[in-house]
A and B are shown apart, each in its own frame.
Chain A
Amino acid sequence: MDILQLIVSGLANGCVYGLIALGFVLIYKATEAVNFAQGDFMMLGAFITLGFTNEHYLGLPFWLSVCLAIAIMGMLGYLLDLIVLRRMFGQSQVAVVILTIALGFVIRFIAGAIWGHEPQSLESPIAGVELRFGGLALGMDEIWVIIITVLLTLLLYFFFARTKLGVAMQASSQNQLAAYYMGIPVKRIHSMIWALSGIVATIAGILFASKGSIDPTAGLLGIKAFAAAVIGGFGSLPGALLGGLIVGLVEPFAARYMPAGYSQIFPYLILIIMLIVRPHGILSQIQTKKV
């Protein structure tokens, strides 16, 4: 029976990984920049919500705090692209990678300075409730995480498939020049993508912080989310979620059935095997250079 528990908690973790992975796949697809600070975005989003809603801080209503956090993180993402990333246009990808890693350091420092380095839990309506079926106890928070992720995925799907902005984002990620010629303001679209991924990260952070606790180093989770994105196929949105779920599912089982010490290397082992066997991921989208 505890297999089911493992599956649910794995899926819930996987959803968080998947959402973080989704965030940088969004950015990568649109701008070719890789945001290594996505995990720290997640952490920051969680802390902002926590700072608004927890009794210890401002004690605002939960949903208001969520809206505020989403707005702030969206704006932060937008401004970050506008002020920092736009200067990097056309520069080497390595430089962008280093830049975003450095950004993660700074975010971690700021979060630590404001909210301290102790792990804290988000006081959200979904935290701490348990569902009991006979001998089986499922965390309501974990089930909520899964439900919200599914809803968010559907929402994003409709956004990209149906709305004008979503289609414009897709177009500019497929061919920047052509999109530009068609009158799509590519630069602004890029900033909006950063805003969007800031929002997705915030939601991931809220989910993560309400089913456990969060501290400034939680951003390092982003590395696992990276593994997830690569396993799923970098550049594919469904792939990011799929990869997240795989990594999330593997972890609790490895922890259960493998000797201690081996379990945490599992996601990375899968990643490396994946890179060797199928470097472009499960749902790959590759193009080769024309000469």
Chain B
Amino acid sequence: MRIVFKTSYDADIRLFKHNAQAFWYLLLFTVAILLPFLVNDFLIGEATLVLIWAICGMGLMMLVGQTGQASLGHAAFMAVGAYSNVIYQINFNMPFLLSFPLSGLTAGVAGALVALPTTRLHGIYLAIATLAISVLTEDIIIILEPITGGIAGIFAPDIQIFGYTFNRYGNPVELYWLVLAITFVVVYAYRNILRSPTGRAFAAVRDSEVSAKAMGVNVARTKMVAFAISCTITGLGGALMGHFATVFTNETFNLIISITLLLIIVVGGLGTIHGAFFGSIVFVMLPLLISVTRDAVGSLTGSGSITIPGLESGIFGAILIGFILFEPMGLYGRWLKIRTYFELFPFYRKDMFRRQKSYLKTERTR
């Protein structure tokens, strides 16, 4: 354990607790930048996907982990980001540099609009309202066929910035760097929120609405801000996902995707930025693992490659149940425990991370 001697208030305000921590994150970032020189194009594509999911996950994390508001419909805001980004580019001839932030803004405004009536709701009502929104979005995309392409889908053009082209197949490395840069900006903004009054207001609303009010926090407004920020981030992720997928339809951002986002943040670790990254790594790696296992089993039994429909979502479900029951703090929580174990060796105690019952206690009376 490192003891940090704080000699100024800035020690608690700065982004890293101490220089060693700053060093490790800098190293991580450097490795991330140099990754294309280390692995092949396929893996770079997967890494890009991890980053995109992590961005979307951070969006939901802001809402669920930081503000304690459940959303079962965040895929809807990914859809808003993806569609608006492409529509701005095609129908309004905007460059990516303009359409991309605008698409985030659009998703944020959509989120705020959704939050406007629903901030009075909490817990289960909010979950159901967002669930309904997720279902509705699919139908609305079909109804708005003239601009969304309906069931046929919409084609996302290549990203163009100052004459440079970013395409998943043509130049995956450049696309990776672009996504990495955006991820960096989102993480930085997220950290800033956590260390500022806004982040504390979120935590206040999460932990006790009554006492947040008594401290002068406007609960309804705070929830709305949380929704707006959360949906902006998720919308940006959705816009990138649109470019990554190149073609998307009403079914690309369905209910399963909303649940997937929840899976990412729960498996990764609720309430931490790390969690969004850990979770999306698991989510992206899992299909690879499953197909590798499937091939191995297939060649072992000589029956060729077996396909079981619904296997992936079944396994996702099982993993999710396992994490909620046995590791509610997610992978990041597990990582913290392992790290502390080695730092304190041999003085680690099993109940050091005993979790107090947290976030929302009884929902009926709030």
**Chain A residues near B (Cβ < 8 Å):** 28, 32, 34, 84, 87-88, 90-95, 97-99, 101-106, 108-110, 112-113, 117, 216, 220, 223, 226-227, 230, 234-235, 261-262, 264-265, 268-269, 271-272, 275-276, 279, 287-291
B121 adjacent to chain A (CB < 8 Å): yes
Q: Are A275 and B210 in contact (CB under 8 A)?
A: no
CB contact between A287 and one of B118, B263, B324, B364 (< 8 Å): that residue: B364
Whether the pair B123, A102 counts as a contact (CB closer than 8 A) is: no
Scan residues 118-139 of chain B and give those whose CB is less than 8 A from a CB of chain A: 118, 120-121, 123-125, 127-129, 131-133, 135-136, 139
Nearest-neighbor residue (CB-CB) of B366 within chain A: A289
- Nearest Cβ in chain B — how far from A203, in angstroms? 24
**Residue of A at shortest CB range from B206?**
A92
A265→B127 CA distance, assembly (Å): 18
Is residue B344 within 8 Å, beta carbon to beta carbon, of the partner chain?
Answer: no
Asked whether B165 is an interface residue with its Cβ less than 8 Å from the other chain, the reply is no
- Please measure, in the bound complex, the distance between the C-alpha atom of A84 and the C-alpha atom of B324, giving whole angstroms: 10
Q: Does B88 contact A (CB under 8 A)?
A: no
Known contacts A87-B325, A113-B308, A226-B128: does B359 contact A99 (CB below 8 Å)? no
Whose C-beta in chain B lies nearest to the C-beta of A24?
B124
Given contacts A84-B321, A90-B361, A105-B314, 11 further A-B contacts (CB under 8 A): A94-B123, A99-B321, A102-B324, A108-B313, A226-B131, A262-B143, A272-B117, A275-B117, A275-B125, A289-B210, A289-B365
Query: Is B314 a contact of A110 with CB atoms below 8 Å?
Result: yes
Contact of B360 among A87, A94, A98, A271 (CB under 8 A): A94
The answer to whether A106 touches B317 (Cβ under 8 A) is: yes
Q: Report the nearest A residue to B259, measured CB to CB.
A: A101
What CA separation (Å) do A272 and B320 show in the bound complex? 29
The residue from B135, B262, B361 contacting A98, defined by CB atoms under 8 A apart = B262
Contact B316 A279 (CB under 8 A): no
Map CB proximity to A onto B337-354 as digits: 1 under 8 Å, 0 otherwise: 000000000000000000
Cβ of A106 and Cβ of B132 under 8 Å apart?
no
Bound together, the chains give a CA A271 to CA B7 distance in angstroms of 55
23 chain-A/chain-B pairs, Cβ below 8 angstroms? A32-B363, A32-B364, A92-B358, A94-B360, A95-B324, A97-B70, A98-B262, A98-B263, A99-B320, A102-B316, A105-B320, A106-B318, A109-B315, A223-B131, A223-B132, A234-B124, A261-B139, A268-B132, A269-B136, A275-B117, A275-B118, A279-B120, A290-B365
Query: Which chain B residue has the least Cβ–Cβ distance from A108?
Result: B310
With A32-B364, A90-B357, A112-B310 as known contacts, state yes or no: A272 contacts B132, CB within 8 Å. Answer: yes
Instruction: Check if B320 sits within 8 Å of A102, measured CB to CB.
Output: yes
CB distance from A280 to the nearest CB of B (A): 8
Chain B 127-170 near chain A by CB (<8 Å), digits 1 or 0 = 11101110110011011000000000000000000000000000
A31 shortest CB reach to chain B, Å: 11
B309 within 8 A of A: yes
Are the CB atoms of B328 and A91 closer together than 8 Å?
yes
B72 within 8 A of A: yes
Please pick, from A32, A216, A230, A288, the residue contacting B128 in the complex, using a CB distance under 8 A.
A230
Inside 8 A of B317's CB, which chain A residues have their CB? 101-106, 109
- Cα(A110)–Cα(B318), bound, Å: 11
Nearest Cβ distance between residue B177 and chain A, in whole angstroms? 34
A98 in contact with B324 given A93-B360, A234-B124 (CB within 8 Å)? yes
Contacts of A99 in B (CB 8 A): 320-321, 324-325
Measured CA separation A87–B125 after assembly (Å): 24
Q: Which residues of A contact B362 (CB under 8 A)?
A: 32
Q: Is the CB of B125 within 8 A of A34?
A: no
Determine whether the beta carbon of A268 is less than 8 Å from that of B64: no
Check if A94 sits within 8 Å of B310, measured CB to CB: no
Chain B residues lying within 8 Å of A276, measured Cβ to Cβ, are: 117-118
CB distance from A282 to the nearest CB of B (A): 14
Q: Are B139 and A265 in contact (CB under 8 A)?
A: yes
Report whether B132 and A227 are in contact in the complex, using a CB–CB cutoff of 8 Å.
yes
Is the CB–CB distance between B125 and A108 below 8 Å? no
**With A and B bound together, what is the CA distance between A92 and B67 in angstroms?**
13
The answer on a CB contact under 8 Å between A264 and B131 is no
A95 CA / B269 CA spacing, docked (Å): 12
How far is A32 from B124 in the complex, measured between Cα atoms in Å? 10
Give complex CA distance A113, B139 in Å. Answer: 29
Instruction: Please pick, from A94, A109, A113, A223, the residue contacting B135 in the complex, using a CB distance under 8 A.
Output: A223
Across the interface, which residues of A come within 8 angstroms of B328, CB to CB? 91, 95
The interface residues of chain A lying within 8 Å CB-to-CB of B117 are 272, 275-276
Check if B266 is an interface residue, CB within 8 A of chain A: yes
A88, A113, A289 — which one has the most chain B CB atoms within 10 A of its CB? A289
Q: Which residue of B lies closest to A289 (CB)?
A: B365
Q: A94-B359, A101-B259 are in contact. Are A272 and B139 (CB under 8 A)?
A: no
A99 to B364, CA, bound (A): 19
Q: Is B43 an interface residue (CB 8 A)?
A: no
The answer to whether B210 and A271 have CB atoms under 8 Å apart is no
Task: Report chain A residues within 8 Å CB of B318.
Answer: 102, 106
| A-B residue pairs, 8 tightest by C-beta | A109-B314, A105-B317, A102-B320, A92-B359, A289-B365, A276-B117, A102-B317, A106-B317
User: Please, which residues of chain A bring their CB within 8 A of the CB of B181?
Assistant: none
A178 to chain B, nearest CB (A): 15
List chain B residues, Cβ under 8 A from A287: 364-365
Instruction: Choose one: A84, A112, A288; the contact of B325 (CB below 8 Å).
Output: A84
Give the residue of A101, A109, A261 whose beta carbon is less than 8 angstroms from that of B311: A109
Chain A residues within 8 Å of B360, by CB: 92-94
CB contacts (< 8 Å) of B135 on chain A: these are 223, 268
Residues on B with C-beta less than 8 A from A227 are 128, 132
Contacting residues, chain A, for B357 (C-beta < 8 A): 90-92
* CA–CA, A108 and B72, complex, Å: 19
Please state if B314 and A106 are interface contacts (CB–CB under 8 Å): yes
Given the known A-B contacts A97-B70, A234-B124, A271-B128, are A265 and B310 also in contact in the complex, defined by CB atoms under 8 Å?
no
Give the CA-CA distance A288 to B196 in the complex, in Å: 31
A117 touches B309 (CB 8 A): yes
